[in-house]
A and B are shown apart, each in its own frame.
Chain A
Amino acid sequence: MDDSTKRLLQRLIRRIPAQTLRTTLEKWGRLTAAQQRSMDFTQPKWALSEKLLAICEENGLTAKHITELEMTNVIDNPNQGMWYAFQLMDPEDDANSIELTQFKEQFKSHLRELVRPVSIKIKKHTDEAVWIRIAWGDSFSRPNHLKPTYVVHHLQTPYVFVTSLTSKQKPLLSQALVLSARYQAIKDANLSGRKLTAIRDLLMRKYQQVFPTMYPSPLGERNQVVSNPHIEKEQAEPAANRLQMACEAFGDGTLPQLQTVVYKLETKFRDHTNKTMTEREEPFSCVVKFASTNLLESLRHCASSGIASTPVTPLLSSILQKGRNYFVITDNGSGPSTQTRQPQT
């Protein structure tokens, strides 16, 4: 093993959580049962790393095998780094019948035509997702295994999720994906987050759907401090109303865990008390970012508690309905990433 491979292994061992190191190594399956038993997982990471290095030398393992171990770890712990969603557009006739082996071969050959040297590893996960690991090189250097790009594509769907992709690599990957998945184009889905599962669920509608008409009265579940029954009765109705509206916009179940949503506003400033600004021709530009550990949950609470007026504005409810968390808002704009909307006064 050369130095760069050793470094790769050491860094990888540091990253794998100590509790899951044993199972990850088992899944990897490159150690003999005896070697696996000889590992003492109560030891500190650096000692384990030394031991594993020795075993790998002994078994004659190469960089290729180490990247397998990395992939096993990333597939098991996908909620790291920033994931960006893309959507394939205009499928060819055979897009729906494409199968794994075909996709694999096609993708590898297309990407290799575009960039060389490149190291590509493709693995199918149990949930029908195809995981692709790409280590990029260029005419002057070998593939850099320390900064790989990960791509997750669910076959027969137009969705692709990508992490650690530079703007230089983006057109290369896009072209290889479009050609091998049998589509004609790919676009930014304006959705990103730290939790791959959350953005996947949001795009693939794998969360509890909202059916407003079927919604039962939620009042019984609410645990309010009992005070004056008259006051309570009077407040109950608007509270129930708000809650219902909140649930109509965001559902009443568990929500995909998004961290942020960004709105770029280029709209006119309208305020009947401010004539100067209202008469101004140019739009008022600003950027609004909402952030929370569970954004949709926070927004639902805003609506149900009355901090946000109900009904919930389409700007907020379209995060869930359109599966996006980046919006450009103009009064009468057009273009691919623009949501045309006339804000109410």
Chain B
Amino acid sequence: MICVLFSSAARTPTNSVVVERRSKSSKSYRQSYRSCVGAASRLCFTPGFTARRLNASRRAPKSHNVTDKVNPQQLALLMKTEWQLSYVTPLYQFRHTQLKSYSRQLSAFIAAEKQQGLAVEVEGAQSSFRVSISVVQGMVEADDDAETVLIQIHSKLLFAKKDEPQRPVWSGWLTCINGNPDYLRSLPEDFTCLPLFCSSGGEGLTAVVKSWFQQTFDCCFGTLEINHTSLQWLAALWTNCHAESSIQHLKMIWTLPVAPPLQVTYTVDPHDAWQLWSSVRKDPREESKGGEEAEEENSIDIEEVMEFMQGLKGHFYRHFRLDLSAGSLKQVTTALGSAKYSGKIKISNSRYMITTFTLLTECALLKMPL
């Protein structure tokens, strides 16, 4: 099943079409996301500053039928698994057409690491590892996004019977959904930006895979948390979907800094959460009158998100006289998925996955070092 799919139309933004567009900004060094957008926004009122935060406004989640674009079997591999997020700096000389050879190199690399007795040893008694790297065709949104890459590692247990098939022991994927086009176009030639790295499996293998990527594509990895603001965004974005697809509940977990630490789980009825959300939404007609955007779909503002959260916190305070703002939001869960502050994400409904990963791509781009 190794990379049979990608050969025809895999999009590596180093092909001719993209190069043309990039030639005007072609520079010899790669730029960081922040410096790029910072430079662009020098023309605006708040130079550099806006790029250091998340977008204050984003499009309301549309029910994307990802299943139309992405092979359902591949999509199933991305769903219902809890992924640990990291950011990755742009990959140098990465080719979507070379995945077969990368698979071989990575499995050789793992074998070599294993022989040195490093890292992988703790995973248990496992014999040869089989690596398959493939493209998740269609798992993109904007034209500048590079195609998503899926890495799977299979292995056979040391004492397994001869005919027993190898089992998946580790998987991970690199993606870019709606990456900032200004930034992506400003990248020098030969760099592919897949800023979001999701992994699931033993720590040892994660470390080995990361180190192979670092050595091969001159990139670096870093931890990516889903911070307070992003979690609030997800709570609002997911609640916004309730009219189309039931969220079943809106569950938020806070921790409060007292001794011993106090955890507050606040679970709201889906319909009530949605009504509260609708009540803080600005009238879309009013928006289109004032706003210059000609978009037919309405956008969501950070003010609305904050007002929604304030409403929830206010209702809580009125009963318990306890201020949730003193604590920190650690987790948000609905039937669509769950997100944790520690950088763990699980998607349970593919329909809104693009919206979620757009936000996470943005977080990853922001977290990259200058």
Contact = CB atoms under 8 A, between A and B. Distances in A.
Interface of A: 263, 265, 267, 269-271, 274, 276-277, 280, 282, 284-295, 297-299, 301-302, 305, 307-310, 312-313, 315-316, 329, 343-345
Given A271-B311, A291-B265, A308 B260 contact: no
Given A269-B315, A274-B280, A276-B279, A309 B321 contact: yes
Contact of A305 (B258, B263, B275): B258
B17 interface: no
Contacts of B265: 287-289, 291
A316 B319 CA distance: 9
A135 to B, nearest CB: 35
B38 interface: no
Top 6 A-B pairs, shortest CB-CB distance: A301-B258, A276-B279, A298-B262, A285-B269, A309-B321, A289-B265
A277 B263 contact: no
Nearest to B325: A307
Interface string B261-298: 11111111100100110111000000000000000000
Nearest to A284: B272
A344 B268 CA distance: 21
B182 interface: no
B316 interface: yes
Contact of A287 (B262, B267, B326, B327): B267
B123 to A, nearest CB: 27
A315 B319 contact: yes
A285 B260 CA distance: 29
B320 A307 contact: no
B40 interface: no
B318 interface: yes
A308 B321 contact: yes
B95 to A, nearest CB: 50
Contacts of A276: 278-279
B107 to A, nearest CB: 40
Nearest to A276: B279
Contact of B318 (A285, A293, A344): A344
Contact of A286 (B256, B261, B267, B279): B267
A288 B267 CA distance: 6
B322 A307 contact: yes
Interface string B155-183: 00000000000000000000000000000
7 contacts: A290-B262, A297-B260, A298-B258, A298-B260, A299-B262, A309-B323, A343-B319
Interface of B: 256-269, 272, 275-276, 278-280, 311, 314-316, 318-323, 326-327
Contacts of B322: 302, 307-309, 316
Question: Binding site of A, secondary structure by majority: helix, strand, loop or mixed?
Answer: mixed
A274 B314 CA distance: 11
A299 B261 CA distance: 10
Contacts of A302: 256, 258, 262, 322
B252 to A, nearest CB: 10
A290 B264 CA distance: 5
Contacts of B326: 307
Contacts of A310: 321
A317 to B, nearest CB: 11
A15 to B, nearest CB: 27
Nearest to B327: A307
Nearest to A308: B322
Contacts of B262: 290-292, 295, 298-299, 301-302
Contact of A290 (B263, B269, B315, B323): B263
Nearest to A295: B262
Nearest to A329: B319
Find the residue from B268, B279, B321 having the highest chain A CB count within 10 A. B321
A269 B276 contact: yes
Contacts of B256: 298, 302, 307
Contacts of B321: 308-310, 312-313
Given A286-B267, A301-B259, A307 B318 contact: no
Given A270-B318, A274-B279, A308-B322, A286 B260 contact: no
Contacts of A309: 321-323
Contacts of A313: 319-321
Contacts of A307: 256-258, 322-323, 326-327
Nearest to B256: A307
A262 B277 CA distance: 25
A46 B105 CA distance: 47
B247 to A, nearest CB: 14
B3 to A, nearest CB: 47
